[in-house]
Amino acid sequence: DHLISQIAAGEVVERPASVVKELLENALDAGATTITLRLSEGGKSLIDISDNGCGIAANELSLAVTRHATSKVRSLDELEHVESMGFRGEALASIASVSHMRLTSRNDAAEHAMCIDNLNGTWQTRAAAGEVGTRIEVSHLYFNTPARRKFLKTDATELSHCVEYFTRAALANPHCAFTLTHNDKTLEQYLATDWQHRIKDVLGKNLPEHAIWVHHTSGELQLIGMICPPDVARARADIQYAYINQRFVRDKVVNHAIRTAYADVLHHARFPAYVLFLDCPAQGVDVNVHPAKTEVRFRESGAIHQFIANSLKKSLAQTAS
């Protein structure tokens, strides 16, 4: 089973940022309103994440680090209506198979925290100190798979990938406070707020001067966020964040709709900057198309495309006139 986990890790754990992504999703799934992420050496030597979510029951700790032990999908039917972000039940096991992992957790029924770690090669559990919530420390990533370790880039590059996932999570979860440190230096700190302030906080000085705030609804569809006309957008394509039901996506339908709106109103669609959150009924979108889960499939992609394009055209037209 360890070997199977290591093979699975090859798909799930491409680099430190993949670990960061999975652990952030778990913390958010657990209902955290405070998440602190500490990285060392681009995440290669340490990824340490603490949350104040629901925690894990003491008798489920060893299950949590076992393959296909998800607490999140209880039936096939549920799989078809996945609304929580993680569902495969193998992230922790995969990460643990290629690293040293220590998981400390406490739920609100427990009198103290419990800790499980694989530092000696097998899982060992003991009582520990800790508040309600979960802390997961992942150190020495790929210590036992040197071939994979060789593919890691410089600390700066690995860090930038980690920051990207951190940013994606922070944008989509403004109700949650986030802190990010690297080598003990605080890089980002976001207080809990609303989506508009979170966008401002995250983009900071990169917030386009002529940002247009978007807020459209049509039936069960809602589109909120920020777009920016290309004439003031600098020639850069890095502020491009689209979410469907809080999940970050790179989706052809969404991208095409955005470009259509820009092209129709402004007659070109170069480097549009945007942070957009589309909300639609969970049955209308299949999120299991791609293992990396940035692609989705819409049941009625035509209607979604039209809604996004029309909404953005209205917003862009307001400022263009």
* Residue indicated by tokens 């499939």: 297
* Residue indicated by tokens 């129709």: 264
230 binds Mg ion (CB under 5 A): no
User: Minimum distance between the CB of residue 194 and Mg ion, rounded to whole angstroms?
Assistant: 26
50 binds ligand ADP (CB under 6 A): no
Q: Judge contact between 29 and 140, C-beta under 8 A.
A: no
Q: Looking at 10-18, 87-95, 180-188, 206-214, which segment touches Mg ion (CB under 5 A)?
A: 87-95
User: Minimum distance between the CB of residue 236 and ligand ADP, rounded to whole angstroms?
Assistant: 33
Give first-to-last CA distance, the chain, whole Å: 63
Of the candidate residues 72, 140, 153, 250, the single one contacting ligand ADP (CB under 6 A): 72
User: Minimum distance between the CB of residue 293 and ligand ADP, rounded to whole angstroms?
Assistant: 11
Residue 132 partner contact from ligand ADP, Mg ion, none using kind-dependent CB cut-offs of 5 to 8 Å: none
CB neighbours of 27 closer than 8 A, spacing ≥ 6? 35, 49, 51, 53, 134
Q: Judge contact between 136 and 86, C-beta under 8 A.
A: no
What tokens appear for 12 in the block? 């799930």
155 binds ligand ADP (CB under 6 A): no
The Cα–Cα gap between 174 and 25 comes to 14
Residue 293 or 305: which CB sits closer to ligand ADP? 293
86 binds Mg ion (CB under 5 A): yes
CB neighbours of 91 closer than 8 A, spacing ≥ 6? 12, 22, 23, 25, 26
53 binds Mg ion (CB under 5 A): no
Residue 94 or 311: which CB sits closer to ligand ADP? 94
Residue 86 or 174: which CB sits closer to Mg ion? 86
Question: Where do the H-state alpha helices sit in the chain?
Answer: 2-12, 16-29, 61-64, 76-79, 91-97, 146-149, 155-172, 195-203, 252-266, 301-320
The Cα–Cα gap between 228 and 160 comes to 24
Helix (H, G, I), strand (E, B) or coil at 36: strand
* Residue indicated by tokens 């989706």: 251
Nearest Cα neighbor of 166 from 96, 235, 102, 241 is 241
The Cα–Cα gap between 225 and 240 comes to 11
User: Minimum distance between the CB of residue 255 and ligand ADP, rounded to whole angstroms?
Assistant: 27
Residue 95 or 316: which CB sits closer to ligand ADP? 95
Q: Judge contact between 190 and 48, C-beta under 8 A.
A: no
301 binds Mg ion (CB under 5 A): no
Task: Spell out, one character per residue from 14 to 33, where the chain touches ligand ADP: x when CB under 6 A holds, - when not.
Answer: --------x---xx--x---
Task: Spell out, one character per residue from 76 to 95, where the chain touches ligand ADP: x when CB under 6 A holds, - when not.
Answer: ----------xxxxxxx---
Residue 85 or 224: which CB sits closer to ligand ADP? 85
What tokens appear for 40 in the block? 């060392």
26 binds Mg ion (CB under 5 A): yes
Helix (H, G, I), strand (E, B) or coil at 223: strand
Residue 89 partner contact from ligand ADP, Mg ion, none using kind-dependent CB cut-offs of 5 to 8 Å: ligand ADP
Residue 64 or 214: which CB sits closer to ligand ADP? 64
Contact positions vs ligand ADP (CB under 6 A) = 22, 26-27, 30, 51, 53-56, 64, 69-72, 86-92, 134
Contact positions vs Mg ion (CB under 5 A) = 26, 86, 91
